[in-house]
Structures are given as C-alpha cells and as structure tokens.
C-alpha cells in the first residue's frame, strides 16, 4: 500500500503523539488533590525514602496512571476494530451498549452470586458485553444511525435495571459507587494484574489481526482473493472487541465515547492503513483517558468528577461532528 510514501509523516505523527502521552503521564503523576512538584516525582523513583509525597506518587498515582493507559488503549483499539469491521463510523463500544452490557452483567453477578473475585467479574463482563453486542446488531441491522438508537435504547434499559438493583441492595454496592459511574478513582488499591493482562492479550491480538482485517474491510470477494478467512477474522474481531471493552469496564466502570473520538482523530493521519490506525489509537487512546482523568481530578475543588463525565462531555461534539459528516450517506 502507500505505507512507504507516507511512512515518514506517519512516524512524525506517532512521535508527536508519544511525546504528548509522555507529558500527560508525567502530569498525571504530579497533579491531584495533593500536588507534587516534578523534582519530588523523580525522587520517588530514584531515591525513594517514604515521605508522603513519595507514597502518593508510587502507591496511588502510578497505578492509576497505568490503569488509565490500559483502559484508554483498550477502548480506543476496540473502537477502531469495530468501526473497521462494520465499516460504520458511528460504531463504538459505549454507544453500542457493549459497556452497559458488561457493567450490567457485573452488577447481576455481584447481586446474585456475590461474585467478588476478579476472574468472576471479568467473566461476567465478557459474557455481558458479548450478549449486548449480538443483541444490538440483531436489532440495529445495517443502518449506522439505527444501530446507535438500538445501542442507546439497550443502554437505557440496562442502566435502569442496574440502578434498580443497586438501590435495592445498597450495602452490597457501597464499594461500587465510583465504579458504577465510570471512574478511575479509588481503583488504585485493587490488584490490576489480571485485567491488565487481559487488555494486553487483546491489544496484541488486535495487532496480529490487522492484516486479515484490512483484507476483509476491502470487501468479501477481495478478502477471499487475498487468502483471508473472512468468517474467522470477523469472529475473532468481535471476540477481541468484547474482551477489550469488557476488561476495561470491569476495572473502570462504563466509560463511553473514547472508542468513538480516538479512531476518528487517528483515521485521517493513518490514511487508510489499518495497522497505523490501531497503532495511533494505542497511543492516542491512553492520552485521551489520561487527559480526561487529570481533568476529572481538577474540575472539582472538593473531590473528583467521574472520568466518564469528562469523556461524555468531549464525546458529544465528536458524535455531532461524525453524524454531520458521515450521517447523510448512510441514510
């Protein structure tokens, strides 16, 4: 393809995004209820001596930053995959009800079986997002706008029932209050190994799937000629999307719109190359979630806004822009 011609420009983009991500990463270690000067942050890693600042940086901010990186990468890559697979610019795990399905399944699992292990939560998230994906596509058919409506409707039903369950069992769900609105706050102390591993597997899988997915995106006949397994690629893509969106929801709660905004930002730079699209999403997704999470910490004088509130506020304009730009074609 045209990768050789646009290679240097793309590398430049990637580098710029990586620098942005690094800056945000450092900011994320410094900014918060207790501002830590940059020198102290560096000191916390080079010469740790257990002062309050050092504890905050290493035990609270570092895990939270890593979590934001992983969740951002997972949601953005899931969005890129599902948009490419369905050739639908409005497809996004949050809008399509996939994240709502995952969080609903987790709440049901906690309420009925008292599931509290991470394996159980991940499993529930996976099943929930898979069922939601199938349902929304069954209802929405092939029209992009109708898919959005189906996703929003399913999200509304699930959110209503989820809220009902939570209100009837306040004791059980006390510790899930922040999670239920989509937030990275208070997740620092949980073991992140398993969900991060799941996201890692999903991201690697997505990178491996880039070539066959690119072939499938060109149309079924072309894909056959190029020797790609159409059905296998489609099934694998859906599995990866549910894995990524499910794992992200299991750790951070339902965070919407990241999978919509990021691929659209990256698409123009990627110039039709799905490999570059996924790569750029891998950098830009974490950058967006980190940015939103930092904003979530400073927007309130007294505490924190759930990060999902920030992404929803940024996502609304993105959705309007996409609808105005692509919506007419698909009607």
Reported residue count of the chain is 331
Q: Which of 14, 44, 215, 319 binds another protein (CB under 8 A)?
A: 319
Piece in contact with another protein (CB under 8 A), picked from 110-118, 185-193, 206-214, 322-330? 322-330
In sequence order, the 6+-apart residues with CB closer than 8 A to the CB of 263 are: 76, 79, 80, 83, 277, 281
Shortest Å distance, C-beta 119 to another protein? 29
Q: Let me know: does 140 contact 149? Beta carbons within 8 Å.
A: yes
Q: How many CB atoms lie within 10 A of CB 177?
A: 14
Cβ distance to another protein smaller for residue 71 or 319: 319
Cβ distance to another protein smaller for residue 4 or 302: 302
Q: Which of 159, 194, 207, 239 binds another protein (CB under 8 A)?
A: 159
Give the whole-angstrom CA distance, residue 177 versus residue 170.
9
Q: How many CB atoms lie within 10 A of CB 300?
A: 10
Report the run of H or E that residue 313 belongs to, with start and end.
helix 307-330
| Tokens, residue 275 | 């490999």
Q: Which of 72, 140, 263, 285 binds another protein (CB under 8 A)?
A: 140
Q: Is 312 a residue that touches another protein (CB under 8 A)?
A: yes
Query: What is the DSSP secondary structure assignment for residue 21, as one 8-state letter?
Result: H
Give the whole-angstrom CA distance, residue 277 versus residue 263.
7
Q: Is 120 a residue that touches another protein (CB under 8 A)?
A: no
In sequence order, the 6+-apart residues with CB closer than 8 A to the CB of 157 are: none
In sequence order, the 6+-apart residues with CB closer than 8 A to the CB of 197 are: none
Shortest Å distance, C-beta 105 to another protein? 16
Shortest Å distance, C-beta 152 to another protein? 6
Piece in contact with another protein (CB under 8 A), picked from 54-62, 116-124, 197-205, 314-322? 314-322
Shortest Å distance, C-beta 164 to another protein? 5
Q: Let me know: does 270 contact 276? Beta carbons within 8 Å.
A: yes
Q: Which of 181, 194, 201, 230 binds another protein (CB under 8 A)?
A: 181
Q: Let me know: does 133 contact 98? Beta carbons within 8 Å.
A: yes
Q: Let me know: does 293 contact 68? Beta carbons within 8 Å.
A: yes
Q: Is 303 a residue that touches another protein (CB under 8 A)?
A: yes
Q: Is 302 a residue that touches another protein (CB under 8 A)?
A: yes
Binding mask 188-227 toward another protein (x if CB under 8 A, else -) reads ----------------------------------------
Q: Is 331 a residue that touches another protein (CB under 8 A)?
A: yes
Cβ-in-10-Å burial (0-12, 13-18, 19+) of 44 comes to buried
Q: Is 300 a residue that touches another protein (CB under 8 A)?
A: yes
Q: Is 20 a residue that touches another protein (CB under 8 A)?
A: no
Q: Which of 22, 33, 156, 226 binds another protein (CB under 8 A)?
A: 156
Q: Let me know: does 288 contact 262? Beta carbons within 8 Å.
A: yes
Q: Which residues 88-107 are close enough to bind another protein by CB under 8 A?
A: 90
* Size of residue set near another protein by CB under 8 A: 47
Footprint of another protein on this chain (CB under 8 A)?
Answer: 90, 139-141, 145-146, 148-150, 152-161, 163-164, 167-168, 181, 256-257, 299-303, 305-306, 309-310, 312-313, 315-317, 319-320, 323-324, 327-328, 331
């Amino acid at each position: 393809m045209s990768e050789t011609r646009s290679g240097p420009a793309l590398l430049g983009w990637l580098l710029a995004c990586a620098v942005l991500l690094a800056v945000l990463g450092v900011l994320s270690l410094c900014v918060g209820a207790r501002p830590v000067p940059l020198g102290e942050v560096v000191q916390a890693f080079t010469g740790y001596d257990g002062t309050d600042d050092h504890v905050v940086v290493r035990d609270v901010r570092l895990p939270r930053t890593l979590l934001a990186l992983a969740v951002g990468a997972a949601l953005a890559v899931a969005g890129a995959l599902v948009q490419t697979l369905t050739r639908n610019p409005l497809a996004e795990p949050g809008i399509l009800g996939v994240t709502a399905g995952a969080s609903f399944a987790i709440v049901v699992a906690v309420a009925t079986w008292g599931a509290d292990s991470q394996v159980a939560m991940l499993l529930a998230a996976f099943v929930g997002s898979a069922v939601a994906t199938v349902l929304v596509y069954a209802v929405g058919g092939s029209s992009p706008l109708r898919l959005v409506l189906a996703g929003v409707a399913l999200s509304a039903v699930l959110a209503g029932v989820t809220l009902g369950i939570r209100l009837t069992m306040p004791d059980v769900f006390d510790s899930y209050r922040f999670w239920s609105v989509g937030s990275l706050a208070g997740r620092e102390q949980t073991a992140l190994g398993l969900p991060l591993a799941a996201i890692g597997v999903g991201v690697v899988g997505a990178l491996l799937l880039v070539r066959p997915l690119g072939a499938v995106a060109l149309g079924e006949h072309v894909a056959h000629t190029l020797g790609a397994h159409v059905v296998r690629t489609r099934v694998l893509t859906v599995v990866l999307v549910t894995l990524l969106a499910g794992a992200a929801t299991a750790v951070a709660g339902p965070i919407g719109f990241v999978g919509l905004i990021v691929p659209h930002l990256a698409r123009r730079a990627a110039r039709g190359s799905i490999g570059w699209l996924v790569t750029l999403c891998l950098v830009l997704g974490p950058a967006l979630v980190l940015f939103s999470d930092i904003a979530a910490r400073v927007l309130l004088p007294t505490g924190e806004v759930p990060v999902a509130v920030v992404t929803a506020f940024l996502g609304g304009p993105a959705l309007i822009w996409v609808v105005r730009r692509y919506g007419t074609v698909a009607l």
